[in-house]
Each structure stands twice: as structure tokens, then as C-alpha cells.
Structure 1
């Protein structure tokens, strides 16, 4: 597949002029095609593509595919990116088709919906004996003008939906349950029926928004996530622990009674897509007029407690902010998880809650929350002596977090300083982003 993808991209570039090679690949996909006097187009292309990984080639295919509405190129890229993902088997796709019966698009035209994701313009003569008619003509005839001629199972076979990428198949299902196709009980019942089938392969349709009061569903891998929506993020503490009260206990609206200057409180609604760096910057610019992203980054760094934490934080933004842009998840330092009021010190028979703060927190799509801990010696010692008690408290708190749906990742502080630290940090976030399908 990677060789085929290389050939597709090289062929696309070969069709450009020398001037286009110097401009279009960089504009569309960030690919620099070097120019030297005397180099042929083929030599320039070979130099530009020589050291790219399979994933980088695939991302190029997605970028060029989107820019040129090239479905085969986009599909080739997605197949490479999904190489290690759980497959949606042909059995599941067949059962999905049967659940849809003879109606994929509901109130919309089938050819219109399918044509967004599959090539329907190729004339088909042999199968139907209808010279010059395209697959789009056949779909419109047999699915829209004469409902019942074709089943959705037959449609899937004709358009290639039994063998396409997971992403393309999922996009087709998103259209099938879009409120423009189905609404009310019809939509709700179809989502339930499809999810029972998709769950067998580890996928589902989940609500991610609304359109005029009607649910919008997105196709995703099944994830456990954390129940409920995050609210009142208290983070980046750089001084005494703040004292908190309720402005409205019914709505869970908090107020900082003292120590407000030592922490930050993000109180905007957080959507199902998580919290991005750009959203955090937007909030910061409103609560601190005249401030920018660089000043926010500097403020967050003031809360970091060690060289290891500072290294991880700096490398994250240096490596991924240029690549991910608006899609970069916010990396929140020193986030309060549990909160004991100051009066807890005066109470009897009351132990403090464990793990008051997390070193770093990321809020990703679909209620996924990532906790990153940087462990110094105080995580394993008491009074400079190894302590099984301290260690047991730490792993017990980890268990509780995982059972609540959080993902917890630990680094030893020594891993994040000295030679090899940068590579280790980048390797971790590369794998984390692949796991959660975070791409620009």
C-alpha cells in the first residue's frame, strides 16, 4: 500500500510544471520540493519524497485529496493511516446494510449523499447494458426513482463500501443518520440498531452536536471516557491553595474566596470535542485583555514545579503546535482533581482526599481525559527513605482514576532531563495522538 501511495503522489506531482512544483505542494500540504538548476521534475520529486514515512505520505494524500476532491487519493491515504486500527469486517458491513434495508439516505437523494465519498462518474456498460450511463445514474434510478430495485446491500457492493476505509464507511453512516436524512424516532431507532452491530467491531455512532434541535452523530471507536462534562477547571496554581465556595450550589457554580491570584479557573462550557489550546487562548484573551498565547504559555510555566515538568511542557508546544495548529489539545498543568476545604485540617476522623492535583491534564474528544504525572522521589519516599506506604497510596489513587475512565501515564523525572529526553517525550505524544486519532 505504501508503494502504491508513493506512486500516486509522485504521479500527481509529475503532472505539475516546475513552477507549480515550487508552489502548490507547499501551499496545499507543506511539502517543499527542492529546486536546483538542471534537476528534472522526476529528480525534484524523488528528493522531496525520499525520506517521508508512510504516515507522512498518507497525510500528503489526504491534503492533496481534499484540495483536488480526489477520492481515490484520499482513500489510499486513509487505508495507510488505518493499517493498525481494528477493522470493520465485511460481516459487520453486510449487517449494517441489512439494517438499513432499502433506504440509505432517507429524505435525501442517495446519489447526492454517496457521491460525496465514492466515485460515481464511471460509465458502466457491461453489467447493465446501458451505454454511457454512470454509476450515479444507476444509483438514482434504482434507489431514488424506483425505491426497492436495489437494497443497500446491493448499493454497498456497487460503490465499494464493503472494502473501503473505516473512515469512509463511517462517513457514509453519519450521512445516513444525519437529521436531513432521518429525524425523530426514525433517526433514534436507526442509531440504536446500527450501534448494536458496530459495537461488535469496536465502533459506534455518538452524538456530538445539534442542528436546529436535532442530534448530529459522529462515527468513532468505542471509548469508555469519563462520565459527565468537565466544569470549573482549577489549574496552574503557583502559590497557596485557593479557598473555594459555592456561588450557586444547585448549578455547581464556584467562587474563589481567597488565593484567586495564585490559580486560573476555566469556567466556559467544554464540548464533546474536548479543550483545545486555541480555545484556552481565546478564553485567556477575554479574561486578561491585551494578553496573547505567548503570555498565557509563560503564565502556565510559572506553575511548573521541576525541570522535568518544564521540559515536557516546552517540548509539547515546540513539536506539536506548528503541526496541529487549531487541533492541538490544551496541556493543562497543576489541575485540581479533588478539593478539600481548608477546614478539613480541623476535622476529626477525616483523612485528606488523595491526589489533590494532577501534574498535567488533557481533555480530548468523546470524554477522554489524559493524566500525565511526573514522578520525583517524593512519590516513593518519606523523609528521604523508601516508603511502601507512599507508593501504595499513589498506585491506589491511579486505580481509582482509571476505574473512573481516566488514562494515567507516568514518567520518572529522570526520564525527562538529559540526553534522550526529547526523543522520549516526542515518542510518547506521537503514540498518544495515534491512539486517539488526533491529526491536523
Structure 2
């Protein structure tokens, strides 16, 4: 994608004169093109673009695309920017199309709505049908003048909506549920149906305002979550801290250099719905034949380091095992995710991992990752003396986790012992699950 974007942006700039190159890119996008004597336009452009990261390239290109209304450049830019975000799959887009049936635009013109976001009148091959008519003419005939000729699913295939950027797809959905297209019960029912589908990939249509008393909806991520997919969950160490490094820095494949025998490694795919206790139990049963959920629970408790951690763990299952049943998220103790390599020379040419252990981790739907920390005195002191450095290291690590998309909640160990501990823990998880939509 970056190579395509580089070529499109270079072509956009190449169409300018030398004089324009010295002024227009900076005026439009803040991009400075050097004006060294003796350089050709191509050399000036290549020199400029060579110094940009992929993300910088995309953000400059977006500004040029908006200035010219260039859909191809806009699409190439957005796909680079969206590359690390949760995908909106072909299956979800197909089911969205089927939810509309044969009526995308409601009370509006389909061709006018679609034409705002997709090229319909280009002479390029692929946008003309067998009759030689433009796609614009065909949509007008089969969806506006003769409703029912084409389904929305067929339309999406013709315009490229199954493969376009999420931003473009989302913008089309916003138009389809706009009050000018649908209002009242029809709008509400359509939004509800679409949200049931979009939620599978972690997106939604959320109300952002009103127009003459009618709701206006915007397409957005369902909740803030972490990009990417967790790949190797290393947790529940009951012995020496595992020493971990990268086996493949490109794919984030990690290897345990020592201490593997004392910890558990969950290496099955974890999708957008997170990790459920039932899934962890199924993995455990395959990993250690003849065992069950009780055996797994006992094994996890062996990794808990304090009475406070044991109380939190036990109360979680006591309170929610029967309430949520198969939908209960797995509460993972002593999770090791990010490490410095133990022996750098054994991992030559690999990237280091910042040191971090988490007391508990929940992987919730929508790629939400919830970190729970139980703070004893070692979080604030060193050799039994208060330590600003230890505290600073802790809050610094919290910041990095939050900036990476994790939610971090801390308990003082004293909160989790005594008669009032269970109600406090149960109340926390009740509020947490409602906030993150595990419970309605």
C-alpha cells in the first residue's frame, strides 16, 4: 500500500511545474519540496518523499486528495492510516449490505448518494458495463428508476464497497441512515440492525447530534481498544520470572528463553470478542488431557502472590461464574506481555521489549484490554523505605500502557482484604462490565 501511495503522490506532484512545486505543496499540505539548482522535477520529488515515513506520506497525501477531490489518492492514504486498526471484514460488509435489502438510500437518490464517495462516471475499464454505459447510468436505472433490479449487495460489489477504506464505507453508512434518507422508526430500526452487525468487528453508528429533532449518526469504533491481535499470552508463572525475547520481530512472535516450565502459554488465535473463560478451559483440557475447569482454577491460583490477589480472583468467579456463564471473560493472572530480551546477543537484529508484568488481564470484546493491578508496599518503596523512583517507574509504565490502548485500574492491597472486600470487588466488576458492554 505504501508503494502504491508513493507512486500516486509522486504522480500528483509530477503534474506541477517547477515553480508550482516550490509553492503549492507547502500551501496545500505544509510539504516543503527542496529547490536545489540542477535537479529535475522527479529528483526534487523523490528527495522530498524519501524523507517521509509511511504515516507521514499518508497524511500529506490526504490533504492533497482533499484539495483535488482525488478518490484514488484518498483511498490509498486511508488504507495506510487504517492498516493497524481492527478490520471491517468482507463478511461484515456483506451482512450490512444484506440488511439494506435493495434500498440503500431510502428517500434519497442512490446514484447521488453513492456518487459522493465512489467514482461512477470514469471512462476507465471496469466502470463501464457490457452496454457501454457508465456505472452512474446503471445505478440510476436499476436502483432509482427501477427499484429492486439490484440488491445493495450487488451494488456494493459494483462500486468497490467491499474493499474500500473503513472511513469511506462508514461515510456511506452515515448517509444511508441520515434523516434525509430515513427517519423515525425506520431510521431507528435500521441503525439497530446495522449496529448488531458492526459490533462484531468493533464498530458502531452512534448518535452525534440532531437535525430538526432527528438523530444524526456517525460511524466510529465501538470503544477505544488496542490495535492488532494478542499473539502469545504468557501468564500464571509460579516460579522464576520467564525470560522472553523475540523470535520474529516483524510478526511479534516471541520465544521463552528460560522459565517456560513455570508458566502457561496460550497460543491460540484471539479474535475481536476477546478471551472467554470457557475458551481458556477448552485450551487447558487439550493442553493437559483429563483436567477440567477446577484444575485450571487451582493452577492459576498457584501464581497469585498475595491474599489481596487471591481475594480478587476468588470473588470474581464466585460473583460472575453463574451470572455470565459461557460469556464470562477469562481473568488472567500474572501476565507477562512485554519484555527486554534476557540475553541481547542471542537475539541479534531483534527489537527489545519494554519490561512489564500485569497482575491481571481481561481481554474483552472489541479488542478492549483491561489491566488490574494490586498494589502492595513494593509499588511505592525500596528496601522498606518510600521511593519516588519506584513510584515514578510505576506511573510511567501506566502511561505507556494507556497510550497503547489499555485501560489500567489499580487497587490498594488493603482494599481487598477484610469483611468489606467482596462487595467492593463485585461492585467494581459490575461497573466495569457495564462500561465496557459485557453486561447490558
TM-score w.r.t. structure 2 length?
Answer: 0.52
Distance 1:184 1:192 in 2: 13
**Match in the other structure for 1:291:** none
By how many angstroms is 1:127 displaced?
6.9
**Match in the other structure for 1:163:** 163
Distance 2:14 2:127 in 1: 33
Instruction: Note if 1:193 corresponds to 2:193.
Output: yes
By how many angstroms is 1:130 displaced?
2.3
**Match in the other structure for 2:30:** 30
Work out the number of aligned pairs and report it. Answer: 251
Unaligned runs of 5+ in 1: 226-367, 369-376, 411-440
Q: How does 1:276-315 map to 2 (within 5 A)?
A: none
Distance 1:106 1:197 in 2: 20
Could you report, residue by residue, the CA deviation over 1:49-101 in whole angstroms, capped at 9, with x for unpaired residues?
11100001111221111000000100000011111111111111111000001
Alpha-carbon distance change, 209 to 406 in structure 1, aligned in 2, over 3 angstroms? farther
Could you report, residue by residue, the CA deviation over 1:399-429 in whole angstroms, capped at 9, with x for unpaired residues?
xxx9xx994599xxxxxxxxxxxxxxxxxxx
**Match in the other structure for 1:80:** 80
* Local SS of the residue matching 2:120: coil
Unaligned runs of 5+ in 2: 226-367, 369-376, 411-440
* Local SS of the residue matching 2:19: helix
By how many angstroms is 1:381 displaced?
4.5
Could you report, residue by residue, the CA deviation over 1:300-345 in whole angstroms, capped at 9, with x for unpaired residues?
xxxxxxxxxxxxxxxxxxxxxxxxxxxxxxxxxxxxxxxxxxxxxx
* Local SS of the residue matching 1:210: strand
By how many angstroms is 1:29 displaced?
0.9
By how many angstroms is 1:169 displaced?
0.8
Alpha-carbon distance change, 409 to 33 in structure 1, aligned in 2, over 3 angstroms? farther
Distance 2:17 2:107 in 1: 45
Instruction: Quote the RMSD (CA, aligned, Å).
Output: 3.4
**Match in the other structure for 2:13:** 13
Alpha-carbon distance change, 128 to 14 in structure 1, aligned in 2, over 3 angstroms? closer
**Match in the other structure for 1:257:** none
By how many angstroms is 1:116 displaced?
1.1
Distance 2:127 2:383 in 1: 83
**Match in the other structure for 1:122:** 122
Distance 1:61 1:143 in 2: 34
Could you report, residue by residue, the CA deviation over 1:6-56 in whole angstroms, capped at 9, with x for unpaired residues?
111111111100111011100111100011222111111111111100001
Residue pair 2:128, 2:135 contacting (<8 A) in 1 also? no
Distance 2:170 2:126 in 1: 30
Instruction: Note if 1:63 corresponds to 2:68.
Output: no
**Match in the other structure for 2:105:** 105
* Local SS of the residue matching 1:206: strand
Distance 1:106 1:135 in 2: 20
TM-score w.r.t. structure 1 length?
Answer: 0.52
Distance 1:129 1:203 in 2: 37
* Local SS of the residue matching 1:168: helix
Q: How does 1:1-400 map to 2 (within 5 A)?
A: 1-123=1-123, 128-131=129-132, 133-223=133-223, 380-381=380-381, 385-386=385-386
By how many angstroms is 1:149 displaced?
0.5
Distance 1:126 1:46 in 2: 32
* Local SS of the residue matching 1:204: strand
By how many angstroms is 1:384 displaced?
8.4
